């Protein structure tokens, strides 16, 4: 019962801050609402017994990715932002489209059956589960882990190559 | 206890908000942030299924999603800086050089 109330709080704040993120005029306000969203998603992860992922969410998403966004928003000027139109001319159609998609998915979920009883007992892990996660990551999923490091390397090199000035000009 | 379907409904609603943001905003920053919203909706789904099926595989997948999101944010923000330096605008409906 207490868990359900906490879940409702997290869900309401997540959805409200998501809507505010995509409707704010100033991109910096959008980033701030995104920060609020990430904190509450970390709370949902804690409700799901994924404490390590909640920490990763806060450190990597809120601490690194969002700060990168904030830096770039502050590098570019946002003067035009206060007068220019926020949405393109198709936005009422797109909003209606979104409502239709959401209604459809939620209808399917409500009509389907899920093993909700399986969640009665939480995962039986000694401690916080970090050890099990590490063993799984470094043994069974070692090759995808290495591919992820290559993806990060490609991202790093690509960002430097794109952002540096050409030698010819 | 919280039923699994509640998490999936939350995730579906968050994903839809992300789609609407991508399709309707003009500012390329907000479009990128809406993509992050969609990735987070997928993360909630993965962690919820991992919890209810009593395995940790879903949590491993969330780590890979976060890795890809970090790399994507770095490259995309470099592209945005390049766009605003070369064309002086960050509004996607002004990029019509290919007349698409």
Mean pLDDT of A87-116: 83
Question: How many residue pairs bridge chain A and chain B with CB atoms within 8 Å of each other?
Answer: 228
pLDDT band at A152 (very low <50, low <70, confident <90, very high): very high
Helices (H), chain A: 2-23, 27-47, 51-56, 66-75, 91-111, 130-135, 142-163
**What pLDDT was estimated at residue B43?**
95
> According to the model, what pLDDT value does residue A126 have?
57
More confident: B98 or A10 = A10
Query: Residue B54's domain is classified under what CATH number?
Result: 1.10.287.3510
Instruction: Tell me whether residues A144 and B50 touch, CB distance under 8 A.
Output: no
B73-93 pLDDT per residue, tens: 999 998 888 888 888 788 888
pLDDT value, residue B73: 92
| Residue B100 belongs to a domain | no
DSSP string for residues in A129-155: SHHHHHHIIIIITHHHHHHHHHHHHHH
Residue A119: pLDDT over 70: no
On chain A, the residues whose CB falls within 8 A of the CB of B43 are: 41, 57
Percent of chain A, pLDDT > 90? 42
Domain that holds residue B33: 4-94
- Tally of structural domains, chain B: 1
Q: What DSSP line would sit under B1-59, residue for residue?
A: ---HHHHHHHHHHHHHHHHHHHHHB-BHHHHHHHHHHHHHHHHHHHHHHHHHTT-SHHH
Chain B residues in contact with A47 by the CB 8 A cut-off are 2
Q: Which CATH class is domain A1-79?
A: mainly alpha
- The answer to whether residue B99 is domain-embedded is no
Query: Which residue has better confidence, B1 or A135?
Result: A135
């Amino acid at each position: 019962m207490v868990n359900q109330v906490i879940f409702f709080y997290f869900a309401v704040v997540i959805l409200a801050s998501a809507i505010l993120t995509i409707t704010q005029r100033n991109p910096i306000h959008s980033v701030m609402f995104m920060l609020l969203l990430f904190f509450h998603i970390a709370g949902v992860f804690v409700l799901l017994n994924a404490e390590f992922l909640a920490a990763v969410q806060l450190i990597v998403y809120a601490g690194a990715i969002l700060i990168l966004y904030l830096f770039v928003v502050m590098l570019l000027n946002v003067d035009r932002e206060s007068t220019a139109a926020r949405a393109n001319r198709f936005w009422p159609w797109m909003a209606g489209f979104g409502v239709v998609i959401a209604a459809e998915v939620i209808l399917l979920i409500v009509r389907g059956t899920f093993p909700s009883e399986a969640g009665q007992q939480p995962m039986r892990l000694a401690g916080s589960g970090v050890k099990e996660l590490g063993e799984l990551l470094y043994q069974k999923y070692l090759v995808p882990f290495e591919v992820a490091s290559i993806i990060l390397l490609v991202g790093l090199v690509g960002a430097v190559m794109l952002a540096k000035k050409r030698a010819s000009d | 206890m919280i039923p699994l379907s509640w998490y999936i409904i939350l995730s579906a609603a968050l994903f839809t908000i992300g789609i609407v943001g991508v399709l309707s905003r003009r500012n390329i920053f907000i479009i990128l942030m809406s993509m992050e919203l969609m990735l987070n909706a997928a993360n909630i789904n993965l962690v919820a299924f991992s919890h209810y099926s009593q395995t940790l595989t879903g949590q491993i997948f969330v780590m890979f999603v976060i890795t890809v999101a970090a790399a994507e944010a770095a490259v995309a923000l470099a592209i945005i800086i390049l766009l605003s330096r070369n064309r002086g605008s960050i509004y996607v409906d002004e990029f019509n050089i290919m007349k698409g």
